[in-house]
Amino acid sequence: MAKYNFPKDFIWGVATSSYQIEGAYNEDGKGENIWDRFTSIPGNIYKNHNGNVACDHYHLYEKDIEILEQLGINNYRLSISWARIFPKGYGEVNQKGVEFYKKLINTLISKGIQPAVTLYHWDLPQHLQDMGGWANRKVVDYFVEYAEFMFKEFGDLVPIWITHNEPWVVSMLGYAWGIHAPGIKDYKMALQVAHNVLLSHGKVVRLYRSMDLKGKIGITLNLLTSYPYTNDEKDILAAKINDGFVNRWFLDPVLKGKYPEDMVKLYREQNLLPELPEEDMEIINEKIDFLGINYYTRSVVKYDEASYPLKASGVELDNPKTDMGWEIYPKGLYDMLNYLHQNYDGIEILITENGAAFNDIVNSNGRVIDDYRIFYLNEHLKEVYRAISDGVNVKGYYLWSFLDNFEWAEGYAKRFGIVYVDYTNQNRIIKDSAYWYGDVIKNNGLKE
Ligand SMILES: N=[N+]=NCCCCNC(=O)[C@@H]1[C@H]2[C@H](O)[C@@H](O)[C@H](O)[C@@H](CO)[C@@H]12
């Protein structure tokens, strides 16, 4: 019996993404994507790790789905590798790529596991990057063509669609700071990228509606609850600017049809404002069925004269952190859920990612005792429960991640999985947290 009972039809799931787990980077007709290219350049990734093999999910997906079944996990968020479908990003279709996802999704459904499909989780076909990538407005139209193909092929199979995963990361880490693929450092271009990605989202939602499909469609945003370091009004303003930078720059166009005025003013003053055609806003604001949010940690922000362009910088507190160095702050999820409920008309929410990396060790009995991860997950789920009890419209939770996997610039050094992957032999070891999560699902709630 659970102490914290979740709503009857609450969605309990786990999440992954194509580049992080599939491997088979150049198999069965798949085209090169920007992460294949970015990881091939020495110095970009921890120890020059890459996703050429990753968790070899492309070949091991049936065994991985058996683990989901064994654990009683009946919702699974995955992403599609665009370059497996369209090796050049558009035009010729790679039928073997289509067949892989048909087999994957049909196997999930045959076992009673509901798929949630992300169309774009960062792995842009390299051919499209060669023409400017998301900075080129033409790529918007190629994304729509890709989505239309996916809706025609999978629209009747897949009940939950996510257009994009974390446009803030796509634009800022990929095009402003060069930490992620394609490794560009151009802040103004990054803001143009963010706009084009949002425009592509809106066009795909509009397309989905026109095809009269029966599922739900939304977008996933990484949201950082922002808190001022002190009660000094400069810090309070800095926290608000950080909230605008990470959260409202994406939430407002999608849910209100306009960019936040304070950030437009700031970017205009800094000569960073890109082309933001007014006629695009109505498209970006196309009504979504749910907002996906990825929550990991909070931001504590102080005024910082030297910080460009926001005059705001994060403060590292001496609090418990995950292996990523991210503060463990469950209340930040509660506060974010209430913030969304109050400021965005009670929009339906799916938590499409929440989880933690810790330095997992396989003990002498071949077991991974990850009590720290169970603690992190339990504390965050208690905050979700509290928000639902306050009336916040949270419909589901996808734990990041199902498997240990390629953690972008950190390579395989960071383990987020509830299933341990031994990359030397591709063995899977079910961690204690996975058994714990299976119980949460069975009880539809938490014991403590
Ligand atoms: N300071 N700080 N920052 C906290 C937020 C950083 C933004 N990164 C994410 O949210 C990525 C998201 C991604 O979808 C997944 O593909 C990644 O594997 C996870 C784990 O990294 C998360």
Distance CA 153, CA 100 (A): 12
ipTM: 0.97
Q: Is 143 helix (H, G, I), strand (E, B) or coil?
A: helix
Q: Closest Cα to atom 17, ligand 1: which residue?
A: 407
> From the CB of residue 116, how many other CB atoms can be counted at a distance below 10 Å?
26
Residue 180 assigned as binding residue = no
Each residue's pLDDT tens digit, 21-76: 999 999 999 999 999 999 999 999 999 999 999 999 999 999 999 999 999 999 99
What pLDDT was estimated at residue 103? Answer: 98
pLDDT digits (tens, 9 = 90+) for 308-322: 999 999 999 999 999
Average confidence (pLDDT) over 386-399:
98
Q: Which residues of 32-62 are buried (b: 16+ CB within 10 A; e: fewer)?
A: bbbbbbbbeeeebbeeebbbebbbbbbebbe
| Ligand 1 pocket: which of 222, 298, 376, 402 to mutate (most atoms within 8 A of CB) | 222
Q: Three-class SS of residue 170?
A: helix
Asked if 396 and 12 touch (Cβ cutoff 8 Å), the reply is yes
pLDDT reading at 374 higher than 90: yes
What are the catalytic residues?
166, 353
CA angle at 303 for the pair 299 and 309, rounded to the nearest 5°: 90
Between the CA of 258 and the centroid of ligand 1 the distance, in Å, is 25
pLDDT in tens, 352-363: 999 999 999 999
- Over the chain, what is the mean pLDDT? 98
Torsion of CA 168, 173, 176, 179, to 10 degrees: 180
Q: d(Cα 22, Cα 59) in Å, to the nearest integer?
A: 8
Instruction: Using CA atoms of 58, 410, 171, 234 in order, give the dihedral in degrees to the nearest 10.
Output: 150
3-state secondary structure of 115: strand
Tokens 């009890």, located at residue: 389
- Percent of all residues in the chain with a pLDDT value above 70, rounded to a whole number: 100
Q: Tell me how long the chain is.
A: 448
Please check whether residue 242 is in contact with residue 301, taking contact to mean a CB–CB distance below 8 angstroms.
Answer: yes
Q: Give start and end residues of each alpha helix (H) in 320-360.
A: 331-343
What confidence score (pLDDT) does residue 2 get? Answer: 84
Residue written as tokens 């600017």?
Answer: 241
Q: Using CA atoms, how far apart are residues 163 and 289, in angstroms rounded to an integer?
A: 12
Q: 121: annotated binding-site residue?
A: yes
Distance of CA 377 to the CA centre of its chain: 17
Distances (CA, A) of 308 to 176, 259, 313, 418: 12, 20, 9, 38
pTM higher than the cut 0.80 = yes
pLDDT digits (tens, 9 = 90+) for 398-423: 999 999 999 999 999 999 999 999 99
Gap between the Cα atoms of 60 and 82, Å rounded: 20
pLDDT band (50, 70, 90) for residue 281: very high
Please compute the mean of the pLDDT values over residues 99-116 and round it to a whole number: 98
Q: How much is the CA Rg of the chain, to the nearest whole Å?
A: 21
- What is the distance in A from the centroid of ligand 1 to the CA of 302? 22
- Supply the pLDDT for residue 184: 98
408 is in an annotated binding site: yes
The CB of 220 under 6 Å from ligand 1? The reply is no
Residues 224-240 have a mean pLDDT of 98
CB 395 within 8 A of CB 350: yes
Local structure of residue 25 (DSSP, 8 states): T
| pLDDT over threshold 90, residue 186 | yes
Q: Is 322 in the pocket of ligand 1 (CB under 6 A)?
A: no
Residue 416's region, left for phi above 0, alpha for psi from -120 to 50, else beta, is alpha
Alpha-carbon gap, residue 60 to 65, rounded angstroms:
9
Contact 309, 266 (CB under 8 A): yes
Query: Any known ligand binding at 296?
Result: yes
Amino acid at 334: Y
Q: Is the pLDDT of residue 1 over 80?
A: no
Q: Please give the single-letter amino acid code of residue 147.
A: A
Distance 355 CA to ligand 1 centre (A): 10
Average pLDDT over residues 261-288: 98
294 lines ligand 1 (CB under 6 A): yes
Tokens representing residue 355 in the block: 């989880």
* Architecture of the domain spanning 4-446: Alpha-Beta Barrel (3.20)
Atom of ligand 1 at shortest distance to CA of 165?
14
Query: What is the structure's pLDDT at 352?
Result: 99
